[in-house]
Structure 1
Amino acid sequence: MPAPSNQFETSLKDPPPESRSSGLFERARVVFPDGTTRVTIERDPTPCYAAEGEGAYLLDVEGTRYLDLNANFTTLIHGHGYAPVMAAVERQLRSGTCFANPTEAEIALGTLLCERVPQLERIRFVNTGTEAVMFAIKAARAFTGRSAIAKIEGAYHGAYDWVEVAQASAPDNWGPADTPAAVPFYRGMPASVLEETVVLRFNDADGAVRLLKDNAYRLAAVIIDPMPSRAGLVTPEPAFISALQEVARTLGILIISDEVLSFRQGFHGAALRYQLEPDLFALGKIIGGGFPIGAVGGRAEVMSVFDASLGRPLLPQGGTFSANPISMVAGRAAMEALDQEAFDRLETLGDRLRAGLEMAAKRARAPFSITGAASLFRIHPKPTPPRDFREAYWSMAEAKMMKTMSRFFRHHGIILPEGAAACLSTPMGGAEIETIVRVFEAFLATRDGREGEVL
């Protein structure tokens, strides 16, 4: 491989106690409960405070430049400071940032999405992925008249009580393999929420069919991320998707495809990729071009629960900043640039990266495996790719290994998320792919007592 570019030649060090990051963290601890405003912020032991971003790279307050494989949790598919988005936002800022009135911009983005995604016949914009999931579940309840939901064990769907059930299950509480327990996510979670949530194991077709049949009389919907990120970024098995869909259709249970993260898996989204035909979608992240956004959409018949044209709808929904014009124009600019060619290129880069990482682990005879699709990937401290959350679950030793790997990557100029999906962005190319593989190879070399320098 060619020598790395200059930004990776210097071995990086942890910020000293007197660093700007350390100083900012001390200030933050005075006003925030733990010094941060998101539980997902990684600290080792101090958070890396961002100063600015450009393309695929992020500059922190110490002046260190990183290849960014987090991209604000996969949101920035065009990287930082994407020119078409910045230009659209600048134009809109001169006209206004938000109104109580609708704007043409929301129609334009809504039309783009509905024309692109099969089964997305109607859409409504909200502010976050959590809101999108929340209103999708409420819509399913309003349409069916049932209150309970089914979800996948370990899957993340935002901060709504019912979808948080069994999100952080562990071996000591996750229950039998054939009947996963409804484990509370936080202290004080209402018992009624646990009773109204049926937990399924991913890729367990027989178990899912049995549990859905047993609870059909009360289930409004089953919510599924076609490739659940925090549950392992695990590939769905066709038999599982087919069985889930068939039994749901038979029993009148709606299917919600949560593609807040996985929508970046293809020009038409993730559902079509895996032959899933949802009744409802929850969208977010990339459709906002780097600005806050969420969307709930789906079949016109189901989405009619929001229809207020004849009076109070079955499901009232509003939001002060929903469909705000800044997010609408930014999202449209970002999505227009994500044509089939752009997705094909990201797919090619992703395939090349995953193959390179797999080959590196194989050559080093290291117990690591790779999962993911399109522009998403995860490295697992497992010799075999996991099939579900339980197989992906880390032991204490594995968790320590992954923290060490994340730190190693950071010391070599790459931000690699510890326990979440890593992603590629359109500004990246072959040089970035080679660098990621090279750093992984160097990390694996440290397991043999070598220095692990990037060659």
Structure 2
Amino acid sequence: MNQELAGLNVTGIERVGQRSKDSFARARLVFPDGTSRVTVERDPEPLYIDRGEGSYLFDVDGRRYLDLNCNFTTLIHGHAFAPVVEALTHQLQRGSCFANPTEGEIELAELLCGRIPQVDRVRFVNTGTEAVLFAIKAARAFTGRSKIAKLEGAYHGAYDWGEVSLAATPENWGDPTAPKPTAFYRGTPASVLDEVVVLRFNDVEGVRRLLSLHAHELAAILLDPMPSRGGLIAPKPEFIGAIQETARNNGIVVIADEVLNLRQDFRGSSARYGLVPDLITMGKIIGGGLPIGAIGGREDVMKVFDASAGRPLVPQGGTFSANPLSMTAGLAAMRHLDHAAFAHLELLGNVVREGIGGAISNRGAPLCVTGAASLFRIHPVAQIPNDYREAHPAPAAATVMKELTRFFVENDIILPHGAAASISTPMTHADAEFIVDVFAGFLDSHQYMLDAITGTVLAVSQQGNKTS
């Protein structure tokens, strides 16, 4: 056994304990597939969690895991963060929700408006999906147009228009210069596909051409500055510039979806990458672990929600919107996300990405790592991809990534499959080094699978040479 494998499990253990298996058997009697959300990972059963503490999870069978999922990047302070627990305990004793507003919502809004550039006004909702939904509605009301443009492979929640081309494949994604809008679920109205212009990430000329071609119909371009499910790939400065210039020249509202990527910087990811959006959707970290979403942006655009003179252009409400529990938890979490906290996250993220990159380079493995700040994602391709299509794995490569997730679980780390992994503030330098060590152990113990990726890439390349 190589030195790097010392202490690591490389033979395979029972990934799911008996109590989790028993719980899943019960769940299959009450849920359509045994789970209550499609994003729950199972292999073949899911792990059932008993509790979380700091950067760790404990399952119902007593095993402890370093958590790199953090409920899909939400828990930037990890689990049971003491300031949030204390604030929520106090608020619960005073009431959980009211029909009237509370001062807590003003305080959280003041924090966001004071911190995030271009956020002059805010409206709170309950999820990231709702935030995107109402941002699109706001853009339509502001411009009087109905179509939107979005990036291929980018996730924006469960709103029909935002789901278009989320799961496009080589079989249906169409021309590389004019991507085909594809449905995410059976029964998607054809009219929805007709109202979405699909763009490729980092395609500068394509963005200019397609946005200009459809400008008279486009209300907004919806983009995540670094789409997680699109590959967690860094945007080219010229790509951001092309979006900004073309949108401004044609009166198209720029919506930055930062529900996930607000965690990249004290001021958010748009500021990090030089994007100046008209609207920003937020969620996840701003709720301190409770459900939340928010739409923020320029005062003139946000005025579509203004009901002070009667019925607004976009009526927006919700029974639990701006509920005091989410406001209280969010305020406590965000107040502790100061510059020092972001510097700590950036440092650990760099340790992990550089360590994984070094392990790949030293072994000549056909993999790469992308990401920024507290986020990273491992890809089964040798070169860093430019967009979703280049990051889309072939079957052999997808199998390797599934095995990578299994190996991490066997070695007590929860690594998301096909999505961003995230660092949380309670993690330490030792935790970061452990992540790198486990990854290196995977490379050393799964060379046969990595060879299969290389063989697949060569076969595809040779086939392409024959047909060109």
What is the TM-score with the length of structure 1 in the denominator? 0.96
Post-superposition offset of 1:297: 0.8
Preserved CA contact (<8 Å) 1:15 1:22: no
Aligned to 2:353: 354
One-letter code aligned to 2:13: K
Q: Secondary structure of the residue that 1:20 maps to in structure 2?
A: helix
Aligned to 1:256: 255
One-letter code aligned to 1:202: F
String of CA shifts for 1:370-399, please: whole Å, max 9, x gaps: 100000000001111111000000111011
Post-superposition offset of 1:11: 8.0
Aligned to 1:315: 314
The answer to whether structure 1 residue 214 and structure 2 residue 244 are counterparts is no
Flag the 1:47–1:179 CA change in 2: closer, same or farther, 3 A: same
Equivalents in 1 of 2:435, 2:11: separation in Å?
15
The answer to whether structure 1 residue 198 and structure 2 residue 197 are counterparts is yes
Post-superposition offset of 1:448: 3.8
String of CA shifts for 1:288-330, please: whole Å, max 9, x gaps: 0000000001000000000000000011000000000000010
One-letter code aligned to 1:427: P
Aligned to 1:29: 28
String of CA shifts for 1:25-63, please: whole Å, max 9, x gaps: 111111111101111111101101111000000000110
The answer to whether structure 1 residue 381 and structure 2 residue 380 are counterparts is yes
Preserved CA contact (<8 Å) 2:258 2:282: yes
Q: Secondary structure of the residue that 2:424 maps to in structure 1?
A: coil
Flag the 1:197–1:449 CA change in 2: closer, same or farther, 3 A: closer
Q: Secondary structure of the residue that 1:271 maps to in structure 2?
A: helix
Flag the 1:5–1:145 CA change in 2: closer, same or farther, 3 A: farther
Flag the 1:310–1:282 CA change in 2: closer, same or farther, 3 A: same
Post-superposition offset of 1:449: 6.6
Aligned to 1:85: 84
Aligned to 2:278: 279
Aligned to 2:67: 68
What percentage of aligned pairs have identical amino acids? 60
One-letter code aligned to 1:209: R
Q: Secondary structure of the residue that 2:254 maps to in structure 1?
A: strand
Preserved CA contact (<8 Å) 2:12 2:407: no
Flag the 1:423–1:15 CA change in 2: closer, same or farther, 3 A: closer
Preserved CA contact (<8 Å) 2:20 2:48: yes
Spell out structure 1 runs of 4+ moving beyond 4 A: 2-6, 8-12
One-letter code aligned to 1:74: T
What is the number of residues matched between the two proteins?
447
| Contiguous gaps of at least 5 residues in structure 1 | 451-455
String of CA shifts for 1:253-291, please: whole Å, max 9, x gaps: 000000000000000000000000000010000000000
Equivalents in 2 of 1:253, 1:10: separation in Å?
53
Aligned to 1:228: 227
One-letter code aligned to 2:393: W
Aligned to 1:135: 134
Equivalents in 2 of 1:50, 1:12: separation in Å?
21
Aligned to 1:453: none
Q: Secondary structure of the residue that 1:48 maps to in structure 2?
A: coil
Preserved CA contact (<8 Å) 2:232 2:420: yes
Flag the 1:400–1:354 CA change in 2: closer, same or farther, 3 A: same
Q: Secondary structure of the residue that 1:51 maps to in structure 2?
A: strand
Post-superposition offset of 1:5: 12
Q: Considering only aligned residues, what root-mean-square deviation do their CA atoms show, in Å?
A: 1.7
Equivalents in 1 of 2:189, 2:116: separation in Å?
36
Flag the 1:104–1:5 CA change in 2: closer, same or farther, 3 A: farther
Aligned 1:374-453 pairs, distance under 5 A: 374-448=373-447
Q: Secondary structure of the residue that 1:379 maps to in structure 2?
A: strand
